[in-house]
Each structure stands twice: as structure tokens, then as C-alpha cells.
Amino acid sequence: MTARHLILSLALVMVLSACGGSGADDTPSPGESFAIETYVGSELSLDEQRCILEGTRVLDIEPERITADDLTADEDGELLAIVAECLEDPASFEPFVDSFIAGAAEGGTNLTRSEAQCAIRALETDADEEEILACLSDETLDSIEDPTIDLLSDQCRRGNNQACDELYRSAPEGSDASIYGMTCANRLPEGTGFTCFDELG
């Protein structure tokens, strides 16, 4: 996955809309506030509570079921999405951060909690690609799979020496892929200074 694909994937995970309350009749009861804050795990602003309460009403989820932890997996997922939409800082909501990390992992990128929280906050502020990538450690950035690198590695492994040379030039300097290309799929010692095509044909 390229850095651009990672950012697009993370942005898809973050399709969050602003949500807020309006009328005084939407003020959550003490029981509703307790259920919402129990689910989220922290105190919330009145607007955040109103927004989540509105979502629970749309989903037809009673506060008592939230407090009793009696939600189906589907309801829990839907409520998680609503909470993430309603919170001013979704990066502070642990289940959402966990979901964000899992989504990135499915795309081949393993994020730390702090990287995920930073990326969520950057995406919330419509940060540009550079700001989002700044959230990621060098190790994480190096682990982002690039389909071109994968294809070149595969071709190099199969004996295509031009692919090995291109892999060496294209992969990040010092990376495993770069060294694999430089050694012509481990057929030459490291640092010979020859191209695979010139040396092996």
C-alpha cells in the first residue's frame, strides 16, 4: 500500500460528520447521560451527549441496554460509529481508536496507538498528506507495502535481473527490498557494485 493509499484508507475510516444538539428538550436525562458516559468511558459535553442520544433514538437502542452491555454486535458497531461522529475528539475514544488501528492493519499498516490518535486528529482537521504522514514513525512508513515493490521483488525472485536492478533503485535505501534487489535475490554478495543485469544477464 502506498502512502497515498494509506492516507485515503485512513480518510475513509474517518468519514465523520459534525453532530450537535439544539433544543433544550433534547437534554439527556440522568439515566441517559450515565448510559452514554458509561459507553464512552469519559465525561462528555452536553452537545456530545445530545448527539449520541439522538443516534441511540434513531437506532432504537434504550439507555438501559447500553448500561447493561446488552447490545448486539451490529448495534455496538452502529453505536460506535455514532459516538465517533459526535465526539469533538474521536481520538480520545478508545474503541474508535482500536477500530481505526484494526482498519489500518487490514490494509497492511500496523499503527501504534499514538500514531493512530495523531492521524485521527489530523484527518479531523482536514490536514494535508504531509501532516498525516508526520504522525507515522519511520518504522511504520517503511512497513507500508508498495505494490510496485512487491511486484519487482517477485520478479527478481523469479530470476528477472532487470527487475532486481529496478527494485534496488526503487525501494527505500537500506530497506530489505533494496538489499534484496542489490544482491539479485541473494545470488550475489552485498555491495559488489555490479548491476544484476550486467553481472548475471
Handedness of CA 177, 8, 51, 63 (dihedral sign): negative
Handedness of CA 37, 40, 41, 43 (dihedral sign): negative
This prediction's pTM: 0.54
Angle at 117 between CA 129 and CA 92, to 5 degrees: 140
What pLDDT, on a 0 to 100 scale, did the predictor assign at position 17? 34
Q: Decide: 60 and 48 in contact? Cβ < 8 Å.
A: no
Over range 73-83, report the average pLDDT.
Answer: 88
Over range 15-19, report the average pLDDT.
Answer: 37
133-161 tens-digit pLDDT: 788 887 777 666 566 777 788 788 888 88
Over range 4-32, report the average pLDDT.
Answer: 55
Residue 107, C-alpha cell as written in the block: 490494509
Q: Decide: 170 and 152 in contact? Cβ < 8 Å.
A: yes
Residue 90, C-alpha cell as written in the block: 474521536
